[in-house]
């Protein structure tokens, strides 16, 4: 035993113990980098306040980020990352296959003035389970937001409608979800009765990583426990009066499942804010949460049509013809506005600069108008 101060040892008979954490698949995807010797490679399986739990498939231990990783331009570790370490120090984060992140409000009175920050929920993920409880949690507009978030991050969404035991005729929710999520698998399950659970195992093939997102109290951790066949995660009651969970899960942990895959359980999300990833304009991405609107948008006269009151807007025509559902168009426009603002914000780095740029743009427009008048 070296200086790693192991928290747990695992029995692993694989030739490359890292493969039980998905190393072989990661390497294949992330291909274009030289990982060097794997003797000092590990995966981040837990995120604590100032430390990380690392695993190399044989041992798990607490490690701390090298000071350098906090510098601008460096990648700070997150749950699911593949890293290089020196004993108890994480020295480098290997290039990510993908990153599931959202915007989170910063400290309102802090020096960042409440600016949106990137919050990473998981990295190097194969499938995202959008978990929605069929109690008071089910909401189509919210599903659309989750789908946009997942597509935005270039990941594969799967909708899991849980607590099916609480609804008679729960199948109707499946149809509704399928309607707003064309092409996305929708699974109806109950962690209480175990109905439908085994179907989810197909996403947990050896080496694959699934991440769970959803509101607090949706039933994410209960689902993990049911799939694991053991109480590996704490679960909490939903408040009877407001129908909301109590944020039982507070940290991000990657759990090795008996099926061979892994699950990253997440704390419940209060508000789904986006964080624009490298892909510009998620709503224009190849996979979209609003394919029917984007299909029609290609026929608009202007390439940058906002589908508000522009002439020859194919989307507005679709709305008039009843091809597009008004609520979905409203959802789409709202998200498009958010995404545009986010892009501008990231361009300007801080909300203060965004406001400055906005004011500058407006004064430019006013000047141009005045010029025209005189």
Ligand X SMILES: Nc1nc2c(ncn2[C@@H]2O[C@H](COP(=O)(O)OP(=O)(O)OP(=O)(O)O)[C@@H](O)[C@H]2O)c(=O)[nH]1
User: Under the rule (CB under 6 A), what is the footprint of ligand X?
Assistant: 162-163, 165-166, 190-192, 214, 216-222, 235-238, 245, 247-249, 267-268
Nearest CB to ligand X, comparing residues 75 and 167: 167
User: 267 and 216 in contact (C-beta within 8 Å)?
Assistant: yes
Residue 314 CB, shortest distance to Zn ion, in Å, is 6
Least gap, CB of 308 to Zn ion (angstroms): 8
If contact means CB under 5 to 8 A according to the sort of partner, which of Zn ion, ligand X, Mg ion, none does residue 238 touch?
ligand X
Contact 291, 148 (CB under 8 A): no
Q: How far is the CB of 164 from ligand X (least distance, A)?
A: 7
- Measure the CA–CA gap between 235 and 221, rounded to whole angstroms: 6
Sole binder of Mg ion in the list 249, 259, 314, 336 (CB under 5 A): 249
Which one, 162 or 209, has the nearer CB to ligand X?
A: 162
Query: Of the two residues 76 and 302, which places its CB atom closer to Zn ion in the complex?
Result: 302
162 in contact with Mg ion (CB under 5 A):
no
**Of 116, 315, 319, 354, which one interacts with Zn ion (CB under 5 A)?**
315
How many whole angstroms separate alpha carbon 350 and alpha carbon 352? 5
315's contact among Mg ion, ligand X, Zn ion, none, with CB below 5 to 8 A by partner kind, is: Zn ion
| Residue sitting closest to ligand X (CB) | 268
Q: Is 221 in the site for Mg ion (CB under 5 A)?
A: yes
Minimal CA–CA distance to 275: which of 124, 106, 119? Answer: 119
The smaller minimum CB distance to Mg ion, of residues 220 and 328, is found at: 220
User: Least separation, in Å, of the C-beta of 316 and ligand X?
Assistant: 39
Pairing of strands 52-55, 59-65: antiparallel
Rounded CA-CA distance 243/141 in Å is 18
For residues 187-199, b (16+ Cβ closer than 10 Å) or e, as one string? bbbbbeeeebbee
Shortest distance, position 217 Cβ to ligand X, whole Å: 4
From the CB of 174, what's the least distance to Mg ion, in Å?
23
Could you say which of Zn ion, ligand X, Mg ion, none residue 296 binds, taking C-beta under 5 to 8 angstroms by partner kind? none
| Residue 305 binding: pick among ligand X, Zn ion, Mg ion, none (C-beta 5-8 Å cut-off by kind) | Zn ion
Q: Which does 184 bind (CB under 5 to 8 A by kind): ligand X, Zn ion, Mg ion, none?
A: none
Q: Which of 155, 313, 335, 339 binds Zn ion (CB under 5 A)?
A: 313
Q: Is 336 in the site for Mg ion (CB under 5 A)?
A: no
Is the CA virtual torsion 228, 229, 233, 238 positive or negative? positive
How does strand 209-213 pair with strand 186-188? unpaired
What are the start-end ranges of the E strands in the chain? 6-9, 41-47, 52-55, 59-65, 82-86, 89-93, 99-105, 116-123, 127-133, 157-162, 186-188, 209-213, 252-256, 262-265
Tell me which of ligand X, Mg ion, Zn ion, none is bound by residue 237, counting a contact when its beta carbon lies within the kind-specific cut-off of 5 to 8 angstroms: ligand X
Buried b (16+ CB within 10 A) or exposed e, 40-72: ebbbbbbbeeebbbbbbbbbbbbbebbeebeee
What's the DSSP call for residue 21? Answer: G
Burial degree of 228 (CB within 10 A; 0-12, 13-18, 19+)? middle
**Binding interface with Zn ion (CB under 5 A):** 300, 305, 307, 313, 315
**Binding interface with Mg ion (CB under 5 A):** 220-221, 248-249
């Amino acid at each position: 035993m070296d200086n790693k101060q192991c928290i747990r040892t695992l029995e692993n008979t694989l030739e490359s113990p890292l493969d039980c954490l998905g190393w072989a698949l990661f390497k294949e995807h992330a291909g274009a980098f030289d990982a060097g010797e794997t003797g000092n490679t590990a995966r981040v399986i837990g995120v604590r306040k100032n430390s990380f739990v690392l695993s190399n498939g044989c041992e798990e231990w607490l490690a701390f980020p090298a000071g350098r990783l906090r510098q601008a331009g460096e990648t700070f570790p997150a749950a699911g990352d593949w890293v290089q370490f020196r004993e108890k120090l994480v020295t480098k984060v290997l290039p990510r296959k993908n990153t599931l992140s959202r915007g989170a409000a910063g400290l309102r009175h802090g020096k960042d003035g409440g600016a949106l920050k990137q919050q990473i929920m998981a990295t190097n993920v194969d499938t995202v389970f959008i978990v929605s409880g069929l109690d008071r949690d089910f909401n189509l507009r919210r599903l659309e937001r989750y789908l946009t978030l997942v597509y935005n991050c270039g990941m594969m969404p799967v909708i899991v409608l849980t607590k099916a035991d609480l609804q008679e005729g729960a199948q109707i929710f499946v149809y509704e979800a399928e309607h707003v999520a064309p092409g996305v698998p929708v699974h109806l399950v109950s962690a209480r009765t175990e109905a439908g659970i085994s179907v989810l195992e197909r996403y947990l093939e050896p080496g694959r990583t699934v991440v769970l997102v959803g509101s607090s109290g949706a039933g994410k951790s209960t689902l993990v426990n049911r799939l694991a066949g053991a109480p590996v995660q704490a679960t909490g009651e939903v408040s009877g009066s407001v129908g909301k969970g109590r944020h039982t899960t507070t940290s991000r942990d990657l759990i090795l499942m008996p099926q061979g895959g892994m699950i990253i359980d997440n704390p419940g999300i209060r508000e789904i804010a986006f964080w624009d990833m490298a892909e510009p304009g998620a709503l224009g991405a190849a996979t979209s949460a609003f394919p029917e609107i984007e299909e029609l948008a290609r026929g608009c006269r202007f390439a940058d049509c906002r589908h508000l009151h522009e002439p020859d807007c194919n989307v507005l025509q679709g709305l008039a013809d009843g091809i597009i559902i008004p609520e979905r168009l409203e959802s789409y426009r709202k998200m498009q506005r958010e995404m545009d603002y986010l892009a501008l914000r990231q361009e300007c780095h801080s909300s203060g600069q965004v406001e400055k740029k906005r004011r500058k743009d407006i004064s430019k427009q006013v000047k141009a108008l005045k010029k025209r008048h005189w």
